[in-house]
Structure 1
C-alpha cells in the first residue's frame, strides 16, 4: 500500500485530482490511498503518508514543508500543466516514482 497525500491551499482543488488518481489506480489494480488536505494540516496528516504532492499554488512552500516533515517523505510540487488538466495518471506515476526512489535511497 502506498499512501499519497495531496496538499493545497484549501484541500478542495486537489479533491478532483484525488478522484482521477484513484480511478487510474483502481483501473490498474494498484493498492494506494490518496487523500487531500489544506496546507496547515499537512504536518499531522502526513504521518501515514509515503509522499506529499503539493498543488502548484503552494509550490513555493516545497522546501519549507520538506523541512517541517524532517525529510521523512519526499515532497514535490505537482506540475501546473498536470494539475490544470487534472491528469491523474501523470501525477500518480510521479508520486509512485518518488516513493520508489525514496525507499531505494533509504534501504
Structure 2
C-alpha cells in the first residue's frame, strides 16, 4: 500500500467531496490559550476538491452542489478520514454535505 505524498494527488470520483475541517481557535477572545482537549471540533470545513458528479438512471451527470474553495457545514460524524503526513482530511458524498456557508 502506498502512502499519499500530497493531498493534491487525490482526485475524488463521482459525487465525492474532499474537505478539511476548519480548526477551532485555541485562544479565547481575551487571549487565554486553551488546551487541545478543551477545543471542540467544528463542523465547518473547506472544500478542497470535488468529483465530476454521480450519474442518474438515464446516464445524465448530476452536478455536485459545492465546488473547490467553498466553506461547508458537515456532519459531526461520518465521511472517510484520510491522513496525509500530520494533516487529516475527509471524503463525503455530495448528499452528506449539510449546507454551504456564504460569507
TM-score tier after normalising by the smaller chain length: under 0.3
Higher strand proportion: 2
TM-score by length of structure 2 reads: 0.22
TM-score by length of structure 1 reads: 0.22
